[in-house]
Structure 1
Amino acid sequence: MTKRFFKLYFICFLAAAFFSGCGTGTEPHLQGNVYPVGAGFGYTISAGKKLLIKQTVIPAINGNHVFCDTADAQKICDLVLQKLQAHKSPYVSKEELTALKIKTKC
């Protein structure tokens, strides 16, 4: 009986230790940064010192087109940051580009 109690106590202890670390706000802070790329701009998203996304072209469109200005790159960077913070996919659609009035030709 004592062995069974010890095993149950140990399992409960491990579960409590695991779940106490979940959702405690220890996730690294996400940060976006717009930077020059060739004749336009791109953006990065980092969590602490770890680079998560390096976007050098406008997503969701054919071809390799850079953002025409910092404002457009910042709009998409902010959108992706919001999605990541909400634990959603960072995918950007053509409809979102249109809604945010992102220029695809400079």
Structure 2
Amino acid sequence: MTRTALLIFVFLSFYNRSFSQEEKKVWSLENCLLYAEDHNLTITDALLDQAVAEVTYDQSKLQKIPRINGNISQIWTKIRQAGYGYSIFYNHRLLIKQKKIPVIQGNQKFHTKQDAGEVAELVIIKMKNGINPSISYEELANLSITIK
């Protein structure tokens, strides 16, 4: 029995000593204030309210910016049995009406509906990406557009 009591006493003295060393941290006034600031729910709530207010302000600014929505489409038409052209619409409004092959001198029409459609698609891609929609001779060559 005394042996068990001695073991318990030795165990408790080492156990107590390990906790007492951890608890002996010295708190300065600055450490206390920093701890209180980090764990204060009122300050945390105020910071969250400020973040929400900033997001709300940004959203209200975005609502004042005009939004541009719509679809761009093309229609190719047979022009007086001489060839094809294309028209590009934005929100059902005509933006471009191309009756001849761009860049080519004269009044040469597209020979096929596919040629007119491919050039119209390139113009639409450029417009959607904010690029000048004009077509170059090299782009016509890359699309294999038939030119007389």
What range is the shorter-chain TM-score in?
0.7 to 0.9
SS at match of 1:57: coil
Partner of residue 90, structure 1: 133
| 1:34, distance to aligned residue in structure 2 (A) | 1.0
The number of residues matched between the two structures is 89
> Which structure shows the higher helix fraction?
2
Partner of residue 34, structure 1: 76
SS at match of 1:87: coil
Distance 1:69 1:80 in 2: 17
Deviations 1:11-57 (A, max 9, x none): x79x71423x44xxx41111111111121000000011210000000
Distance 2:117 2:92 in 1: 20
Larger Rg computed on CA atoms = 2
Distance 1:101 1:49 in 2: 30
Partner of residue 118, structure 2: 75
Distance 1:36 1:28 in 2: 26
TM-score (norm 2): 0.56
Stretches of structure 2 lacking an aligned partner (at least 5 in a row): 1-56
> Which structure shows the higher strand fraction?
1
Deviations 1:78-97 (A, max 9, x none): 10010011111110000000
SS at match of 2:85: strand
Distance 2:130 2:123 in 1: 10
Which contiguous aligned blocks of 4+ residues in structure 1 show a shift greater than 2 angstroms? none
Partner of residue 50, structure 1: 93
User: 1 or 2 for the larger relative contact order (CA 8 Å, sep ≥6)?
Assistant: 1
Partner of residue 18, structure 1: 64
Distance 2:84 2:138 in 1: 21
Letter in 2 for 1:34: W
